[in-house]
Amino acid sequence: MDEKEITNILIKNAVIVNPGHEDDSASDILIENGIVKSVIKVGDKPRNQTLKQGQKSGPDGSAGSDLIFSDDFKITEIDGSGLIAAPAFFDMHVHIREPGNEEEEDFESAAGAALSGGITTLCSMPNTDPPVDSEYLVRYVKSRALQAGINILPAAAMTKKLEGLEITEFGLLKCAGAAALSDDGKCVQDSKLMYEIMKYARQFDMLLILHEEDYTFSETGFVNEGYYSAKLGFDGISSLSEELIIARDLMLAAKTGTRIHITHISSKNSVDLICRAKESGVNVTCDVTPHHIFFNDSCLEGYNTNFKVNPPIRSEEDRNALIEGLKNGVIDVIASDHAPHLEEEKNTTFREASSGAIGMETLFSACYTCLCVSGGFKLSRLIGLLTENPFKIFKIIQPSITPGKKADIILININKDTLIEKSSFLSRSSNSPFAGRKLKGEVICTIKDGKIAYKSNSLNRR
């Protein structure tokens, strides 16, 4: 039987890490028909028995030996010894290039990349060709996601053709299945129009995901303005480009009461602005990318265009402020900002290279290496940033590995050192700033809706 068709799985001896809660004891997790049926700590098993085929859990989660599987009950066992079991991730910022540029990424390749990174749910950005600014394109995204086998919450465009001139039909887009609104990749420059967008979104209780960029500061630059831009002779982008628009939109959100989410923040002052806004009651959340917390702008010295991203990777002071913002709760989410590009779009000069980096497949390992291994972060806190918080922002039931919950579960080997190689990516593109770098931690199995959707070779060898 194909493992993807098996709906009954027994994970044995894994350590469960739910958001905000770590438990050092190993447990058995029984999944039946896509739902977590029981979770039994190994030390709590009656008579030191383990759940096995021919035996079902009792209603209290114990191993009830009087409850026997029927003869046609099919089950697969996974040895979770030495592994972490956690809820699957929600990446709330992903660029899928379909429609229009499927050679960079289509729904099938995006699904493969996501699942190998432990992601079963994602929010797709609307800057495709054509942009997702109408009901039929929202429905197209949802239909293709269903075919590809991934949970996608589409963000639809705030303005027609992402031009920042005319507001789209928010109500119709929401009815078609849009989960949020964004012009990501572009920023609405007209403050009065942004005010009207917020008032309109408030009527439909629609989340706005905001890319913040003042083009008068950024139109000629392509890296962070600072020591390294001056040293290398690159045109710089001041962090004011981001901070001025954040300040504007925080004031507009305070006036309108609209839910806003500021994506891929990059500077210390951005963290400070959002912190003060939260303290004053503004309905704002924000995210940061792995590459902005892992690297500083000294990376530019290698002239590797995979470090050309928007907003740019900034100074060490900014990087430390972003990590501190994660620690103190100002920054709510880590999202990949997965942005695939062809080799020829990156294999050129810094000025001419496209901005963006892929990130779904390295989402966990980059964050775990930076925050937990080097930064003293608790694993449960990191899991919450990748699961609990994005689900809260989208007002969706939060995941956990508890009886009765949907079985979207990942298994992680946190002790595995992995050399990130371009040839190993399942994405159609390989423009990763982590390529050639050794990271700690690997997602070795992803279970979606109770079925094995991805497993690495490491799982086969266990």
Give per-residue pLDDT as tens, 329-348: 999 999 999 999 999 999 99
138 has pLDDT over 70: yes
pLDDT at 45: 57
Comparing 44 with 139, which gets the higher pLDDT? 139
Residue 81 pLDDT > 80? yes
Rounded to whole angstroms, the Cα distance separating 257 from 306 reads: 38
Give the right CATH number for 88-393 from 3.20.20.140, 3.40.50.300, 3.30.450.20, 3.30.1330.40. 3.20.20.140
Supply angle C-alpha 383, 385, 386, rounded to 5. Answer: 65
How big is the chain by its Cα radius of gyration, in Å? Answer: 22
* Beta carbons of 451 and 445 less than 8 angstroms apart: no
Q: What percent of the chain has pLDDT over 70?
A: 91
Q: How far is CA 190 from CA 169, 205, 252, in A?
A: 18, 22, 12
Q: Which amino acid is at 370?
A: C
pLDDT, residue 398, reads 84
Q: Is 337 a catalytic residue?
A: yes
- Could you give the CA distance from residue 306 to residue 350 in angstroms, rounded to a whole number? 9
Confidence of residue 356 (pLDDT cuts 50, 70, 90): very high
Which one of 72, 337, 408, 417 is the catalytic residue? 337
Model confidence, pTM: 0.92
Of 3-7, 197-201, 391-395, 419-423, the poorest mean pLDDT is in 3-7
Which structure tokens are listed for 444?
Answer: 């070795």
Whether residue 69 has pLDDT greater than 70: no
pLDDT band for position 459 (50/70/90)? confident
> DSSP letter at 397?
P
User: Looking at the predicted structure, is the pLDDT value of residue 20 above 50?
Assistant: yes
Give the pLDDT of residue 23.
72
**CA 339 to CA 117: how far, in whole Å?**
15
Instruction: Tell whether the model's pLDDT for residue 73 goes beyond 90.
Output: no
Residue 62: pLDDT over 80: no
Report the DSSP pairing between strands 84-87 and 409-419.
Answer: antiparallel
For residues 193-199, give the mean pLDDT.
98
**C-alpha angle 2/5/7, rounded to 5°?**
130
Question: pLDDT by residue (tens digit) across 158-168?
Answer: 999 999 999 99
What is the model's pLDDT at position 49?
Answer: 46
Tens of pLDDT, residue by residue over 401-433, are: 999 999 999 999 999 999 999 999 999 999 999
- pLDDT of amino acid 126: 98
> Does the pLDDT at position 121 exceed 90?
yes
- Rounded average pLDDT over 256-270: 98
Average pLDDT, the chain: 92
Both tokens of 225, joined, read: 């303005």
- Among 114-118, 317-321, 365-369, 454-458, the range scoring the smallest mean pLDDT is 454-458
Q: How far apart are CA 127 and CA 427, in angstroms?
A: 18
Instruction: State how far the Cα of 115 lies from the Cα of 389, in Å rounded to an integer.
Output: 19
Q: Per DSSP, which regions of 193-255 are E strands? A: 208-210, 223-224, 236-237
Please state which of the ranges 20-24, 197-201, 224-228 shows the lowest mean pLDDT. 20-24
pLDDT at 1: 45
Question: What confidence score (pLDDT) does residue 65 get?
Answer: 31
